[in-house]
Amino acid sequence: MKDVFETLKKQVNRVGFGAGIHDLLFTAYQASAATLKKHNRVNLDSKVDRKSYTSFETKGKRLSRPINTELFHDDDRAVARLLRQLLKGDRGGICADDITRTLYTVAISFCAARDLTSDRDRKTQGTFFEYLCGAVMEATLGISPVRKLPVLNLDLKGDLPTDLVFDLGNEKPKFHLPVKTSTRERIIQVWAHQRVLDGVYGVGRFLAIPLVLTETKLDTRRREVVEICLPWQWRLYQMHIASLWNVCYFDIPEPYRMLDTVFPRVGVSTVGEFLAEKGRLHKLLQAHSVTAP
Amino acid sequence: MKDVFETLKKQVNRVGFGAGIHDLLFTAYQASAATLKKHNRVNLDSKVDRKSYTSFETKGKRLSRPINTELFHDDDRAVARLLRQLLKGDRGGICADDITRTLYTVAISFCAARDLTSDRDRKTQGTFFEYLCGAVMEATLGISPVRKLPVLNLDLKGDLPTDLVFDLGNEKPKFHLPVKTSTRERIIQVWAHQRVLDGVYGVGRFLAIPLVLTETKLDTRRREVVEICLPWQWRLYQMHIASLWNVCYFDIPEPYRMLDTVFPRVGVSTVGEFLAEKGRLHKLLQAHSVTAP
C-alpha cells in the first residue's frame, strides 16, 4: 500500500491531479479495501449523537481511526464504479448522499488501512486525502489547481504559497481549497489565509471551500469516539476574520451543520450536497455562466 | 523529572503562575540540568549563519533537540541565581543578553532533558515553557493572567478562549501572550487570534507579545540544524491580518530580527531586549504611567 502511495505521489508531482492519476487512485483504494478486509472489525462506543462508529484492529490490538458506519460503503465494486464516474466529472444521476458516501469510503479506507500498517504516520493519510480532493475538483471544474499566487504590489513582489487554488478565469470565481483530514482549533488558519487573500487581491475574489474529512477523536483505551467542534469560535471567526464560502464535510458534524441555518451564516454542507448535479457549486457556476465540463 | 513536572502542573492548576510555583520551576530546572550532565554532548552541523548548535545523546543514540551553544549557560548555579532574581520581578543590573541566556537555558534544558527521557512526548515541553513564561511575566507585571475573555455583544454572549492575557486595568494596556516552542507556518494563528481580539474589543486594545523559544529543525540522520523562517509571509500577515506588537524570541532567527528594521515593521526582539530594565516593555509601561512591581 505504501508502494502504491509512493507511485501516486511521484505521478502527482509530475502530472498534477488530472486523468494521469485516476488509475493510481483506484489502485490505492482497492489496496486499502483489501487491507481492511484482512482485519477484524470492532464496534466503538460512539458519544456522537445519532452516529455510530466502527474501527479495524490488528492482531497487536492497534486500532484504525473511527469509521462512520452509515457512510462507509463496504461494496468496493460499487464504490469504484461511482468513483470512476465522479472522476469523469459526471455527477449525473448520483444523489448527494451517494457522492458523500463514495468519497467518504475511498478517503477513510485509505486512512484507516494506513493507520493499521504504520504506527506513527499521519502525513501520508493527509496527502492522499488532498490528492483525492484535488482530482475530484479538477474533474468537476475542468481546470488544474495552482499552489501559489503572484503578489505584485508596489515594493512587495513575490509568491504567496496557498492551498489548492482553482481559477476559472477573468471575471469568474476563483476557489481556494484548504484540504484537511480534521481541523479542531487549527481551522483558524483557514480563515486567516482567506483574510490574506481578501487583503492582497480584494474581498470577494476568492471563495473558500475547505474540504474536511471528519472531526472525530478516538480514545483508544476506552474505545470511545467523540467529535471536537468549536461552533462558537467559528461564528466569531466568520464575523471578525473573513468569510468562508462553503465548508464541505465528508462526515459532517451536526454542530457545524447548524451554522448553515443561523444568521450570520457560515456555509457548511456535505461534500455531496456541494458537488451534486443541482448542488451549491452548480448554482454558483450557473449564476456566473460557467459551463462545467 | 516527569514527577516534578506533574507536581508543577497540579500546582499551576491550583495557584496559577505566582510565587507558589517558583520553587517547583527551580527543581524542574535543576533536575533537567542534572539529566543533561549524565549524557554525552555532541556537536551538530549547523546550517544557520553565525550560530552553532549542540545536542545531548542517550546510549541508544536518541538526540535531544538542538541547543544554541552561545545562549546555553552550563553553570547551573549562576542560572538559578539569575532566574530567582527574574522571578522576583527584579531585572536591575541584569543586561538584556543575560536575561535571554538565563531564560533560554532554563527552557531548553527542560525540553532537551525531556526529549532524552521520552520518545514521543512534545506536549510536556510546550507546557513547561508556557509555565516558565507565565511565571516570568506575572512577576514582571505584578498581575495574574486569564485564559478566556467574556464576549457580550448584542445576541452574542459567551467566553472566548485565549492564550495568556494580562490586563493592567482600565485605560491601561492589555497584553495577549501566545507561547510556542516553535511556530513555522502555524504562526498565522497568532495573527488570526489578534484579529479576533481587534474585532471583538477594538483595534489597539490588546498588544500581542508572542513568546517563542526557537525556530530550529534537526535532521537527526544527518545531524544538521536549520532554521525554518517565513519572513515574507510574516510581512503579509502583519499588513493584511492584524498587527503584532512585539514577537519575543529566546533564540532569535536573523531573518525575523530584520523585520524589526524595515517598513512596515513587525516588532521582533530577544526576550531580554524586551524585558530588560530600560527595554521595550519598560518604555511602554512608562508611557502609560504603569508602575511595575
Looking at CA atoms only, how far is residue A163 from chain B in angstroms?
Answer: 13
The set of cell numbers assigned to B244 is: 503584532
Looking at CA atoms only, how far is residue B240 from chain A in angstroms?
Answer: 5
At B292, is the pLDDT very low, low, confident or very high (cuts 50, 70, 90)? low
Q: What is the pLDDT of residue A172?
A: 92
Please say if the pLDDT value at position B1 is more than 90. Answer: no
CA of B183: how far to CAs of A243, B26, B120, in Å? 25, 26, 19
| Cβ distance of B236 and A160 shorter than 8 Å | yes
| Cβ distance of B196 and A151 shorter than 8 Å | no
| Cβ distance of B233 and A151 shorter than 8 Å | no
| Cβ distance of A196 and B240 shorter than 8 Å | yes
Model confidence, pTM: 0.93
> Which stretches of chain A sit within 8 Å of chain B by CB?
120, 151, 156, 158, 160-161, 185-186, 188-189, 191-193, 195-196, 198-200, 232-233, 235-237, 239-241
Which of B241, B243, B266 to mutate against chain A (most A CBs within 10 Å)? B241
Q: Is the dihedral of CA B8, B10, B12, B18 positive or negative?
A: negative
Cα distance from N-terminal residue to C-terminal residue, chain B: 32
- The values of phi and psi at residue B191, to 5°, are -65, -40
Mean pLDDT over B230-239 rounds to 95
> What pairs with residue A148 in β-bridges?
A161
| Tens digits of pLDDT across chain A (293 residues) | 788 999 999 999 999 999 999 999 999 999 999 999 999 999 999 999 999 999 999 999 999 999 999 999 989 999 999 999 999 999 988 999 999 999 999 999 999 999 999 877 789 999 999 999 999 999 999 999 999 999 888 888 889 889 999 999 999 999 999 999 999 999 999 999 999 999 999 999 999 999 999 999 999 999 999 999 999 999 999 999 999 999 999 999 999 999 999 999 999 999 999 999 999 999 999 998 877 66
Distance, CA of B118 to CA of B2 (rounded, Å): 9
Looking at CA atoms only, how far is residue A8 from chain B in angstroms?
Answer: 26
Q: Which residues of B touch A255 (CB under 8 A)?
A: none
Distance, CA of A291 to CA of A284 (rounded, Å): 11
- The values of phi and psi at residue A166, to 5°, are -110, 120
Question: Angle at which helices A231-240 and A188-201 pack, to 10 degrees?
Answer: 10
Q: Which of A139, A202, A209, A138 is nearest to A171 (CA)?
A: A202
Please say if the pLDDT value at position B96 is more than 90. Answer: yes
The total number of residues written for chain A in this structure: 293
ipTM summary value = 0.91
Looking at CA atoms only, how far is residue B207 from chain A in angstroms?
Answer: 17
The set of cell numbers assigned to B103 is: 531564560
Q: Which residues of B touch A196 (CB under 8 A)?
A: 236-237, 240-241
Task: Say how many C-beta atoms besides its own lie within 10 A of residue B156's C-beta.
Answer: 13
Cα distance from N-terminal residue to C-terminal residue, chain A: 32
Contact indicator for A208, A190 with CB cutoff of 8 Å = yes
Contact indicator for B114, B106 with CB cutoff of 8 Å = no
Q: What is the pLDDT of residue B148?
A: 93
Q: What is the pLDDT of residue A121?
A: 79
Distance, CA of B194 to CA of B185 (rounded, Å): 16
Q: What is the pLDDT of residue B291?
A: 73
The set of cell numbers assigned to A85 is: 464516474
In this predicted model, what pLDDT tens digit does every residue of B188-219 receive, in sequence order? Answer: 999 999 999 999 999 999 999 999 999 999 99
Percent of chain B with pLDDT over 70: 99
In this predicted model, what pLDDT tens digit does every residue of B24-64 receive, in sequence order? Answer: 999 999 999 999 999 999 999 999 999 999 999 999 999 99
Question: Chain-wide mean pLDDT for chain B?
Answer: 94
Chains A–B, number of C-beta pairs less than 8 Å apart: 66
Contact indicator for B217, B48 with CB cutoff of 8 Å = no
For residue A219, the Cα-to-chain-centroid distance in whole angstroms is: 23
Q: Which residue has the cell 452509515?
A: A70
Q: What is the pLDDT of residue B126?
A: 97
Question: H or E element: which one contains B53?
Answer: strand B53-57
Q: Which residues of B touch A236 (CB under 8 A)?
A: 151, 156, 160, 196, 199-200
Q: What is the pLDDT of residue A152?
A: 84
Residue type at A36 in one-letter notation: L
CA of A274: how far to CAs of A180, A250, A277, in Å? 17, 11, 9
Q: What is the pLDDT of residue A222?
A: 95
| Residues contacting residue B225 through CB under 8 Å, at least 6 positions apart | B44, B45, B46, B47, B48, B53, B66, B216, B217, B218, B219
Distance, CA of A62 to CA of B209 (rounded, Å): 42
At B156, is the pLDDT very low, low, confident or very high (cuts 50, 70, 90)? confident
Please say if the pLDDT value at position B293 is more than 70. Answer: no
Between B155 and B143, the higher pLDDT residue? B143
Contact indicator for B259, B194 with CB cutoff of 8 Å = no
